Amino acid sequence: MRNALLAASRSTWLRERATRYRFVRRAVTRFMPGERLEDALEAARGLGAGRMSAIVTCLGENVSKPDEAAAVKRHYLEVFDKVSAMGLDVEVSIKLTQLGLDLSRDLAAGHVADLARRAAGNRSRLWIDMEDSSYTDATLDVYRGLRPSHPSLGVCLQSYLRRSQADLESLLPLGPSIRVVKGAYREPPDKAFPRKADVDESFFRMSARLISAEAIAAGAWTVIGTHDPVLVDRIQARAQAVGVARDGFEFDLLYGIRRDLQAGLAEGGWKVRVLISYGSQWFPWYMRRLAERPANLWFVVRGILAS
């Protein structure tokens, strides 16, 4: 089922049809407050009441024209302006292929540099999502090139990739900001661990390394991007064992997923940030959310029955 949903996420045919149905659009609202930036920022404001911050991302990937990439950059500059005007603690996460990586690495890197500068002006961070493994090298190259002059820049690493532990070690001398996630794409077994237990262990090892005294002394900032309560418990226990304070790193979770865990973490004094997606290009992203938990398909079925 996971593979079928991930294959579906790349189907233009299905995207064009599925997004027309109201019951599909209704099911999507479980994971995003709305398609407009304003919807995301209103939701971000609401999170503040529960002592949680937000990170926003405008859905979309693989643009094919330089003008489209430039428009995405302009949009995100506007996001930083609005966030600043509203006085919110909101970070931004981008995809390099949405900023033109398929056209030219330099083009995408130039846009990222402009956005990272703007993020720094807001005393905020700009995060680079990690896409499928055909982009890992390019993404890390862009990060390595920009991080020394843009300390506001962070990057995501996926624990399901066999290479990620080594990538993490190679990034540590930069004092990086790293978001650890399990990984959301369909990858072959020579690249990614097929067994969940190995993905989870790799996640824990990477997180433990990032909150080690050595990594923190090097300037590393850690974001734990998961809804997995077992990993959350293990990482909290490790942080306490090595004397890392509750605000010495951050848990990031996706809007609408495990709200109970989000609230519990915030109430317990841990730093929590919720990633809110918006925009009209939600189809591949939504298919990846279904693939993470095929039981989510039930919400689509309920929508069909109700319509």
Show which residues are catalytic.
Answer: 129, 179
> Per CB under 6 A, does 88 bind ligand FAD?
no
Is the Cβ of residue 36 or residue 196 nearer to ligand FAD in the bound state? 196
257 touches ligand FAD by CB under 6 A: yes
Q: Are 125 and 90 in contact (CB under 8 A)?
A: no
Q: Least Å distance between CB 177 and ligand FAD?
A: 13
Closest CB 79 distance from ligand FAD, rounded Å: 17
Tell me the backbone φ, ψ of residue 177, rounded to 5 degrees. Answer: -100, 120
Q: How many CB atoms are located within 10 Å of the residue 172 CB? A: 18
Residues near ligand FAD (CB under 6 A), total:
24
Q: Show the 3-state SS of 12-58.
A: HHHHHHHCCCHHHHHHHCCCCCCCCHHHHHHHHHHHHHCCCEEEEEE
Q: How far is the CB of 291 from ligand FAD (least distance, A)?
A: 8
Q: Is 40 in the site for ligand FAD (CB under 6 A)?
A: no
* Residue 296 binding ligand FAD, by CB under 6 A: yes
Shorter beta-carbon distance to ligand FAD: residue 80 or 251: 251
146 binds ligand FAD per the rule CB under 6 A: no
State residue 28 phi and psi, 5-degree precision.
-65, -30
In the window 153-212, what residues touch ligand FAD (CB under 6 A)? 156, 158, 179, 181-185
CA distances from 119 to 47, 77, 78, 209, 219 (A): 20, 9, 11, 27, 18
Verify binding: residue 142, ligand FAD, rule CB under 6 A: no
Q: Does 72 bind ligand FAD (CB under 6 A)?
A: no
CB 176 within 8 A of CB 139: no
CB 185 → ligand FAD: shortest distance, Å? Answer: 6
232 binds ligand FAD (CB under 6 A): no
| Residue 226 in the binding site for ligand FAD (CB under 6 A) | yes
Q: What is the length of the chain?
A: 307
Q: Which two tokens stand for residue 249?
A: 């790193």
Is there binding between residue 254 and ligand FAD (CB under 6 A)?
yes
Q: Which has the closest alpha carbon to 79: 89, 68, 65, 92?
A: 92
Q: Is 284 in the site for ligand FAD (CB under 6 A)?
A: no
- The alpha helices in 134-174, defined as continuous H runs, are 136-146, 164-171
Judged by the rule CB under 6 A, the positions of this chain that interact with ligand FAD are 129-130, 156, 158, 179, 181-185, 225-228, 252-254, 257-258, 275, 289, 292-293, 296
